[in-house]
Structure 1
Amino acid sequence: MRGAGTNPVTMTGSAAARILDVTRLLSGVGRGRMTGVDRVEFAYLRAFLAETEPLFLLARTSFGFLLLDRTAGAVLQDALGECGERPATGWFRFLRDPKWKVTHALRKRAVARSTHWRLGGMLKRAVPAGTRYISVGHSNLNEEVLAAVRAIPGGQISVMIHDTIPLDYPEFTRAGVTEEFRQKMQATARYADLVIYNSKETRRDAERWFGHHGTIPEGITAHLGIEVMSANAALIPPELPLDRPYFVYVGTIEPRKNHALLLDVWTTFEATMAPADIPRLFILGKRGWNNEDVFHRLDTLPFMGRTVFEVPNLPDAAVAALLSGAAGALFPSFAEGFGLPPIEAVAAGVPVICGDLCVYREILGNIPVYAEVNDRYLWETIVRDFAKKKRAVKQPDLKARSAPDLPTWENHFNLLLKMT
């Protein structure tokens, strides 16, 4: 694993062995660019593959569970690409059905297999006493799997909590997600030896909910690492016009990300500004869920493809290239657990305008320009000003504003593995 995208991370810990659950990563093979939790789970895979301590991987498939070793983990990493890109690099990019074929390749390399109801016996036979199971992606965060881990003599469980948005903001989630997440939190409260939090804000929110269940597990706050992406302008789609100031929004198009505000802002620009003066907006993310009104506007607004562009599934290098030339990165989210894209934008020296969320204050201090997410006029004013200046805040200015050190994966794992 390369801490902050460069140097390998060296780690030591007390567990006899570790089991990293990679079900989420396997389920996403071939689906395009990673976002959010996928990127975090991939960082854990790379980190654990780079160390020398005993490592197992657990993946649930439609046929049952696979227990994998380090060699199989390298196969999965290759399938996902060196930097977590999808589609994959190497020979995997030629596969028509990469998920099925990668699963088949892993099955052949499995240390052990089990049906869904015999997982505990398999783990007890195949891994040493004192093994620690680590759940980052929550794919198997349930009674069945956690009880099976407890069948390992001295087995331990660590769970990462990314946010409590499904409980705090159920209106932003898909049907059934809130209750499903509530059950995951209950299972975590019952079984986890350690809960890993990505921010102090997430820890406060989660421990408040754990208190409702009567048990607050031991916890540790470890900020996620930031990797500055390498830019490649040649990968920017040629149809994107870069001849005037532009802004970017990186993230899935879902309700809590508040894309509607930006569409309102650009609607005002279209009505009040000369066409040649209107900055452009590149929405870099795929469509999510429960956002039909925004999807309809993206499909029907007359200025789509002229001043606002929806650009899903760009590779990281293209996103980095667009960020490098942007007048600013816009993030009017209503809620975040950590919020990687704004922090990655700051790490790349890009001006950031974002909602005034506690987690951004915690990580970024006074670097961004904070704006109330319901104040359209304020956002219009800020965007106009940044467009006029094009690069209103350059990298030397960012450093001059007494920013906290941005987190790295090396620091994350050094802190985490003191506890595991």
Structure 2
Amino acid sequence: MDMPLRDAPADATDLEHLRQEADRLRDEQSWADAAEAYGQYLRLCAEDGPIWVQYGHCLKEGGDPKGALLCYREAERLLPEDSDLQLQIGHALKLLGRDDEAFSAYALALTLDPGNVFARAELMGGELPSDPLPKPAPKPASPPRPAPALTRAVDGALVFDASDLLDYFRHNRAPTGIQRVQLNIIREALAADAEATTLVAFDPRTGAWKALPTALFLDLAELSATGADTREAEWVALVATVTGMLRGAAPHAFAPDSALVNLGTSWWIPDYLRRVREAKSRFGIRYIPFVHDCIPLEVPEHCAEGLVNEFARWFAGLCLHADAVLVNSESSAEDFRRWQRAVLPRLEIPCFRVPLDAAPPMAEPGALPEPVRDGRPYVLAVGTIESRKNHLMLFQAWLALLRRYGPAAVPDLVCVGKRGWMAEEALRLHARLPLLRGKIHLLHEVPDTALAALYGNCLFTLNNSHYEGWGLPVTESLAHGKLALVPDHSGFRDSGAAGAIFFAPGSLPDLMEKIWRLASDPRHREALEARLAGRFRLRSWAEVAAQLVRDARAGAASRLPAPWARAVPPLGLAQPLGLLPGPEPSLAMALADLLRQGAGWSAPEPWGALACLGASALRLALPAEAAGESLRVYVELLGQAEPCVLTLRALREGGAAVAETVTLGVAERRFAMLVLPAAEGGDLLLSLEPASGSEAEAGRVGVCSLMACRATDHAARLDYLESRALIRLPG
């Protein structure tokens, strides 16, 4: 990537004119000419980070993603906290086929700005309009303010983490399955005992939880049920109020022995479990997540690859941090236990089953959506339109029924749900055939009032997922007195036990036969509905919430070992710090996260993690075999954009320290080695500090891996060095 040369502008006025000319060429999509103008500008103003971004964008659009990545990396040096810049880095890496690195860049973008909708779309596999040209970011007017003091905790409270719910509301309004569960349970827990219920949300910018006022949560819950328009002024103002309040709030101080209960998902939040670990150490909290399903592990072929890898790493880390888990069905409980034992075979994490057999809050039915407002009969399918929900088989069944019996005899199919990932084949089939387009209606962003009307007027409901943890639409269907036709597997067996009609999974003939019988024989359908009404009883959400609170308190009473004591690796085993790929969780994934201690670490990347000198340390639990042995400790380091001199200081907990000073050049990879004298016990602690007299007080260094072995174990040393060297060989 060579910058074009021109005669230098004579003064600041000419320089500004050159920048404006470059902007104009960019806006006209004259990428080569714009790149030339930006390059000349940067010859004269090399520290202008936003213009480096513009230069990179023009190169990328002009077909040079490698050159673009170099520009973005230069901008990253100047704008380390810019979320949109990380988004652009991710796009360039994606074009270069470096998908894992791209995923990490998108995750970092979301960490820096949880409202970055384009980064979220890349991570979640959703679709959004192309992001616009990145505009130069304004320079900060003043240095950041010091962090506010901690807020006071409420003794004895269950602390519900609403991070996932709030993140959903930043980009959506009408709640779906997991969001409905969270809203209903938290609302009922507050109603039962507001004094003992605290709400928090995780702030990735500061790595801390912030208290969420009850009144704001209840306002969100109420307003989310009245419509689906995210642009409505009242909704926009409320979301902005919550977002601004959390950004300015002080970190939450947990009461000792309180339980952090996460009813949503957290796998997508970079470094979430490291912050849980810090809170466990600092406040003595218990961590109790709700594992709604293990779908990315059970059917990874129906999930985006990045999601599978991230979920596998999260699940592995959860096994080291959770004091108990909550699940919704026997299927989810069996899945959790099986995968947990694969990671930690000698540990049994308490697992509490909280069935979601609750009647949904009955919204006042509104008007039916336009496609079925004329009174035509229809079958209702509620769920995200994605590969796992297997809409393709539903569309194929409808097509076969239409061709066999004719459009007049076959009811319409109404599919309610957002568009997800990997549904292209089903959508292509629907779009290609007018016969299907006239009988199958795809509805998005349907408010609760319209959904209530759809449930109330349908013939029956239909779900065909390849896998479910529970299947909330089944419960909602039965609550409305409507039969649910579902495959006989996974969580459907729990949610549909009281009255669902089951068909053989994957059997198109069986599915078609049962659809036609229910649709064409009113007496048969009405008889089944009458039997359903006579034997089906749902709990209230208050009952579900009461059980969950009891189980969470019981889980909080467990006394499992600390995270680093749950799995002690043998001596001589290489411990990478980078993001390990799935599709299955492993102990190595959990240990890669667990090694990092202190507030100076950045989120891990495929190669390792960045450590801020003076605020970062490594902790490795040592096995009993290490007692009385002298140890060799190896650390694989990676230099950054500036030369660095650092001191590695290692000791066994409670023992004497040894130190080694290391000089690293730019992008230099080096193995440092320390020898620890024989000691009786204690974990290995290793700190990364600026060298005495070094000017790099806030310097950063990359850490790729760690290994400890007996000082006399030459084979382990050679295996480690050779294995790490082979990783770096070009492929």
TM class, shorter-chain normalised? Answer: 0.7 to 0.9
2:264 partner SS: coil
Q: By how many angstroms is 1:261 displaced?
A: 1.1
Distance change in 2, residues 1:306/1:241 (3 Å): farther
| Per-residue CA distance 1:198-244 (angstroms, 9 max, x = gap) | 11111111011000121331111111252334355543223425433
2:376 partner SS: coil
Distance change in 2, residues 1:292/1:363 (3 Å): closer
Partner of 1:171: 301
Tell me the amino acid that sits aligned with residue 40 of structure 1. V
Partner of 2:202: 60
- Pick the aligned partner of 2:328 from 198, 207, 210: 198
Matched, 1:150 2:280: yes
Matched, 1:75 2:75: no
Query: Does the CA-based 8 Å contact 2:257-2:284 persist in structure 1?
Result: yes
Task: Supply the distance in 2 between the matched residues of 1:414 and 1:60 (Cα, whole angstroms).
Answer: 25
1:418 partner SS: helix
Partner of 1:3: none
Matched, 1:344 2:476: yes
Tell me the amino acid that sits aligned with residue 129 of structure 1. P
Task: Supply the distance in 2 between the matched residues of 1:184 and 1:361 (Cα, whole angstroms).
Answer: 27
Distance change in 2, residues 1:407/1:128 (3 Å): same
Query: Does the CA-based 8 Å contact 1:228-1:348 persist in structure 2?
Result: no
Tell me the amino acid that sits aligned with residue 130 of structure 1. D
| Per-residue CA distance 1:124-166 (angstroms, 9 max, x = gap) | xx23212211112222584322212213443111111111111
Task: Supply the distance in 1 between the matched residues of 2:321 and 2:226 (Cα, whole angstroms).
Answer: 33
Partner of 1:309: 441
2:395 partner SS: helix
Higher relative contact order (CA closer than 8 Å, sequence separation 6+): 1
Distance change in 2, residues 1:133/1:408 (3 Å): same
Tell me the amino acid that sits aligned with residue 52 of structure 1. A
Partner of 1:48: 189
Structure 1 window deviating more from structure 2 (250-259 vs 146-155): it is: 146-155
Partner of 1:5: none
Task: Supply the distance in 2 between the matched residues of 1:152 and 1:85 (Cα, whole angstroms).
Answer: 41
- Pick the aligned partner of 2:532 from 364, 384, 398: 398
Task: Supply the distance in 2 between the matched residues of 1:15 and 1:206 (Cα, whole angstroms).
Answer: 31
Alignment of 1:8-157 (within 5 A): 16-29=156-169, 30-50=171-191, 51-61=193-203, 63-65=205-207, 67-69=209-211, 72-81=213-222, 84=225, 87=228, 93-94=233-234, 96=236, 99-108=239-248, 110=249, 112-113=250-251, 123=252, 126-139=253-266, 140=269, 142-157=272-287
- Pick the aligned partner of 2:343 from 193, 201, 213: 213
Alignment of 1:359-374 (within 5 A): 359-365=491-497, 367-374=499-506
Alignment of 1:247-326 (within 5 A): 247-326=379-458
Please report the RMSD computed on the Cα atoms of aligned residues, expressed in angstroms: 2.7
Query: Does the CA-based 8 Å contact 1:23-1:58 persist in structure 2?
Result: yes
Query: Does the CA-based 8 Å contact 1:286-1:312 persist in structure 2?
Result: yes
Query: Does the CA-based 8 Å contact 2:485-2:502 persist in structure 1?
Result: yes
Query: Does the CA-based 8 Å contact 2:289-2:322 persist in structure 1?
Result: yes
Task: Supply the distance in 2 between the matched residues of 1:180 and 1:97 (Cα, whole angstroms).
Answer: 33
Partner of 1:159: 289
Task: Supply the distance in 2 between the matched residues of 1:241 and 1:281 (Cα, whole angstroms).
Answer: 13
Task: Supply the distance in 2 between the matched residues of 1:149 and 1:224 (Cα, whole angstroms).
Answer: 29
| Per-residue CA distance 1:167-206 (angstroms, 9 max, x = gap) | 1110111121122112222222111111111111111110
Tell me the amino acid that sits aligned with residue 329 of structure 2. S
TM-score of the pair, normalised by structure 1: 0.84
2:444 partner SS: coil
Q: By how many angstroms is 1:101 displaced?
A: 4.3
1:171 partner SS: helix
2:194 partner SS: coil
Task: Supply the distance in 1 between the matched residues of 2:499 and 2:313 (Cα, whole angstroms).
Answer: 37
Task: Supply the distance in 2 between the matched residues of 1:40 and 1:308 (Cα, whole angstroms).
Answer: 28
Structure 1 window deviating more from structure 2 (284-293 vs 52-61): it is: 52-61
Distance change in 2, residues 1:221/1:369 (3 Å): same
Tell me the amino acid that sits aligned with residue 131 of structure 1. S
Task: Supply the distance in 1 between the matched residues of 2:276 and 2:363 (Cα, whole angstroms).
Answer: 41
2:504 partner SS: coil
Task: Supply the distance in 2 between the matched residues of 1:95 and 1:163 (Cα, whole angstroms).
Answer: 30
1:370 partner SS: strand
Tell me the amino acid that sits aligned with residue 334 of structure 2. R
Q: By how many angstroms is 1:260 displaced?
A: 0.8
Q: By how many angstroms is 1:395 displaced?
A: 4.1
Identity of aligned residues (%): 25
1:104 partner SS: helix
Q: By how many angstroms is 1:305 displaced?
A: 4.2
- Pick the aligned partner of 2:541 from 401, 406, 409: 409
Q: For structure 1, list consecutive stretches of 5 or more residues without a partner in the other structure.
A: 1-13, 114-122
Partner of 1:185: 315
- Pick the aligned partner of 1:355 from 487, 510, 514: 487
Q: By how many angstroms is 1:52 displaced?
A: 2.8
TM-score of the pair, normalised by structure 2: 0.50
Q: By how many angstroms is 1:265 displaced?
A: 1.3
Tell me the amino acid that sits aligned with residue 16 of structure 1. G
Matched, 1:333 2:465: yes
Task: Supply the distance in 2 between the matched residues of 1:338 and 1:324 (Cα, whole angstroms).
Answer: 22
Task: Supply the distance in 1 between the matched residues of 2:195 and 2:361 (Cα, whole angstroms).
Answer: 29
Query: Does the CA-based 8 Å contact 1:328-1:353 persist in structure 2?
Result: yes
> Which has more radius of gyration?
2
Task: Supply the distance in 2 between the matched residues of 1:162 and 1:378 (Cα, whole angstroms).
Answer: 29
1:282 partner SS: strand
Q: Figure out how many residues of one structure are paired with residues of the other and give that number.
A: 390
Distance change in 2, residues 1:346/1:242 (3 Å): farther
Distance change in 2, residues 1:15/1:363 (3 Å): farther
Query: Does the CA-based 8 Å contact 1:45-1:73 persist in structure 2?
Result: no
Task: Supply the distance in 2 between the matched residues of 1:32 and 1:144 (Cα, whole angstroms).
Answer: 30
Distance change in 2, residues 1:102/1:235 (3 Å): farther
